[in-house]
Amino acid sequence: MELEEKAEEILETLWIRTEEKEEGAVALDDLGIKGKRPIDQLLKGDYISISGDRRVRLTETGRPEARNVVRRHRLAERLLADVLGTRDMLIHEKACKFEHLLDRGLDENICVLLGHPKVCPHGKSIPSGGCCQREQTQTSKVVAPLSQLTRGQKGRVAYIYTLESDKLQTLLSMGILPGTPVSLVQSFPSFVLQTHQTQFAVDKGIAEAIYVRLVAAETNN
């Protein structure tokens, strides 16, 4: 079932109140809902339950859906802040609109692009996704930062990890994206990487932000 925006916003509020603030349930009147349609949609899909004292709880079906809504919102905030340079006062408002455009799968692509961030720009935890779990199990075996590669070693960009927006924007302008083939040409006095037919000289900070899935590791897997 595809939920409307207001219904997703209710799930987001319920997740924050019940899971992060551990309130257990939220009074229906506290949700500030205008109209019955969002609540009716959530009840029909078995995402929420409402007790006799008009307190709302997430169901077993609603809890993972609400978690995903929160994840998409906070990833949207991270993208707006790190890549698009959105000012802090506008981040939450724009993320509320942007999160509804993130289909499942696209949010994972953004998470990979941003380097599996742990917190949003406001310091709140970003729930992990399947891509984060796969990265945790695979990274130690097959992925290494470009700064740790030896001369001539090749692979493909697995993800980019940096909290500095200027570094991320520099890499994006160079076309360094997840999946891009890359090799290390030299590591001194600066790091020189090659992607396709183009070479770039970067400093250590940039080289440490590029995580590469090594060719040999790909072959073994």
User: Percent of the chain scored above 70 by pLDDT?
Assistant: 83
Band (10; pLDDT cuts 50, 70, 90): very high
Rounded CA gap, 211 and 155, in Å? Answer: 10
Rg (CA), the chain: 21
Q: Are 102 and 148 in contact (CB under 8 A)?
A: no
Is the pLDDT higher at 207 or at 96? 207
Give the C-alpha separation, 109 to 132, whole Å. Answer: 11
Q: Which fold has domain 1-128?
A: Arc Repressor Mutant, subunit A (1.10.10)
Element (H, E) at 181: strand 181-186
Q: Are 41 and 4 in contact (CB under 8 A)?
A: yes
Nearest CA-CA partner of 157 in 177, 175, 136: 177
Query: Which region among 26-40, 47-61, 81-95, 180-194 has the lowest average model confidence (pLDDT)?
Result: 81-95
Q: Tell me the pLDDT tens digit for each residue of 99-143.
A: 656 666 678 888 887 778 888 877 889 999 888 887 776 554 467
pLDDT at 220 > cutoff 60: no
What is the C-alpha end-to-end distance of the chain, expressed in Å?
Answer: 37
Q: Which among 56, 43, 59 has a CA at the least distance from the CA of 17?
A: 56
Whether the model pTM is above 0.75: no
pLDDT in tens, 45-91: 999 999 999 999 999 999 999 999 999 888 888 887 766 666 665 56
What pLDDT does residue 217 have? Answer: 43
The yes/no answer on whether domain 136-220 falls in CATH 1.20.1290.10 is no
Asked if residue 33 lies in contact with residue 6, where contact means CB atoms within 8 angstroms, the answer is yes
The domain locations on the chain are 1-128, 136-220
In one-letter notation, the amino acid at residue 49 is S
Q: How far apart (Å, rounded) are the C-alpha atoms in residues 88 and 75? A: 14
